[in-house]
Structure 1
Amino acid sequence: MKFYGVTSLSGAVRLAFFASAVCGPGAFNGAAAQEPVRIGVITDMTGPYSSLSGPGVVVGMKMAVDEFGGKVLGQPIEVLSADSGLKADIALSRAREWYDRQNVHMIVESSDSGSAVALQKLGADKKKITMFHSGTTALTNLECSPYGVHYAWDTYSMASGAARAAVQAGGNSWYFITADYVFGKSLEADASKIIRQLGGDIIGGVRHPLNVPDFASFLLSAQQSKAKVVGLANAGSDTQNAVKQAAEFGLGGGQKVVPLLMFDTDVKGLGLKVAQGMEFATAFYWDYDDKSREFANKFFAIHKSMPTMNHAGSYSATLQYLKAVQATGSLDADKVMKYLKSVKIEDAFARNGRIRVDGRMVHDIYQVRVKTPEESTGPSDILKVILTIKGDDAFMPLADSTCPLVKK
């Protein structure tokens, strides 16, 4: 296995370092030097989403490159990485630099929905392929693009699992605590639609800034609402802080806190004593089957933690992109996208996968339950898969899409 470590080197030093690390020694010697096929990843490296995305996304992509053999069309493959800081302007600036100065052919985004929408528009303008692991369903609706693939999950698929389970358990009145940006609003909207379809009511809600440490005032508002369910439309450390403080706050009246999006890293951050019994949807769990376990164990050997759905999704997106380039014998985005939309996607991440005309990668989703401390056999044994949800049932129906690419 090749080196997959430092991602913060800069300029020519970083490029040379990654070229050597990914492609192996001697790949660029003398007259044999070739222009590399460059792909990039923009993610949150140090902020509230860094554990569920961050450096692990880079690891997943480089594992795919290594598995592919380090070259495509006879050219070495180079992976560039950048920290978005959860700011769309930073993500856009770096992407423009990569496209205009370094001939980057494809970008994986695993940062935030605001950056994702901005990168979707830029990719369409530049005719460059972008693979997304942020949540907003805008990416496959009004903001869809012939060059964008919404890959691992979205707010509809995640909200569907958690909301359905809660309503079916009697939680028919909801109050939302929502992150005040594109992703949180999308997650709340998708969950609300499902809740109302199942006969539930939305009593009210409050919005909070990204990465807020104190949820006391928001939880007090939720308590006063008397809603049966307090839905958390946020992610990462925000979700963890809200759940922990709700337990400390002692929400009364039988209120139940339901996170609409959870990652393995959130469960581990909360601990099984706090998180036990929670049910949610996920696009990947490392212990699902032999293929997922084999990938996860290789990932763990590098990253020292099991992969989240963003980590595994980035591996899969990279691998499938490289396969498409090889199969078409071209780096032309139109040819590569046509091929990607024509094949079935099966690998360590995806089961029964396919990419629709709106750019949604449809695949199986899993309803999981957090294990009790007594059920767990080790630090990574945290979830139990209780239901496999077929992709056509998990994701927004194409008939409901507002994507201009969809013919109705």
Structure 2
Amino acid sequence: MSARARLTAILAVVGALVVVATVLAIALRPAATGAAAPTAFEVSAGMDDCGRGWGGDGHAAKVPGGEQTLTVTNTTVAGIEVYLQEVDSKRVYLDLENLGAGAHATVRVALAAGRYRVVCLPADMDPVRGPTVTVGTAPPGSPLTPGIVPVTRNDLIPVTKVYSDWVGSRIPVLRAQAAAVAADAEEGDLPAARRDWLTAHSTYQTLGGAYDAFGEVGEQLDGLPHGDPTGFHLVEAQLWQGAPASAVAASAQSLVALVDRLQTQFAEAQLDPGEVALRAHEIVEDAIQRTLTGADDAGSHTSLATVDAELSGAEAALAPLHDILASRYDRLAETQQALADAHRAVEAQRGADGTWTPLDAVARPTRERIDAALDRAVELLAPVAAICDPRREP
């Protein structure tokens, strides 16, 4: 699945309304009760007629503020992307992607007073900017479409490098922790091996933002523990289901070998800047769908420790995006707080001796609080993926 397809799926699941994320984000949104009917325009999107039909032609084009319906037609012989941009702030209020030759898209957008223009972006060609249109004052109380300054791939390259360097710095730590499990088992100290296994597994779970770069090795390290488990889950099953120390030691050595392969592979990998902003949301979503259901428990009953580590992984994936998001996402602080709140709800289930409450032993009201905390975090993270979805400079 492509990054764009995953992004669309994210927004569909959580119901986020982010106009710039997808053609359908604001399409056919009903007008507010009592609001005036939106003004309708037939708008061209082509090389010579970009923006024609919106507010009339010429430099004095004006339209009323508030909701407007735009039926945009691609008049070229190839696909095109179309923005609706506020001239002075450079914010984009509508992004129609992959509008095919001759195709139409009808969308609604609600604009505040200002100067706007349609921008047509044919593939492999410079943007074509339509005439400036003056938008009047919106009716009082009108719900307005949010706009953002586009994030480009170039904006995301340094973010990706920061995150990639951090992941690279953690893999040697993971390797040492996995080696400690093998050493414990070779000495016959299985209680120590269980403690060290949890430490190593938690470290691995913090690296979820790089899972695409881990590829097949990642699946072997931490795939679901069904059928013939490998990696962490094979060692987990043996440690908590009474296997002899010699068997645990052999499997732990195989785990170390997998981490060695991961280190070699990741040193040559390049994370995709176009996908880095998806990860924080995906990590928490995975915690909800896989870990909190017990689907990845091979006998240790430490799912809440895994969730705790996954939340740390989401924070690590979100952190390098701070400077990009600070001026674009007005709920960034709320999102960070939601992750912290989820941490607190989960960590309350860790005992003073470091052991974790098994999922099936968590009281129902407590479980509901944990579920609600993660649901809130995943909802607030969805717009991050939409805002940071890389776009062309208009």
**TM-score for the superposition, normalised by structure 1:** 0.29
Larger radius of gyration: 2
Structure that is richer in helix per residue: 2
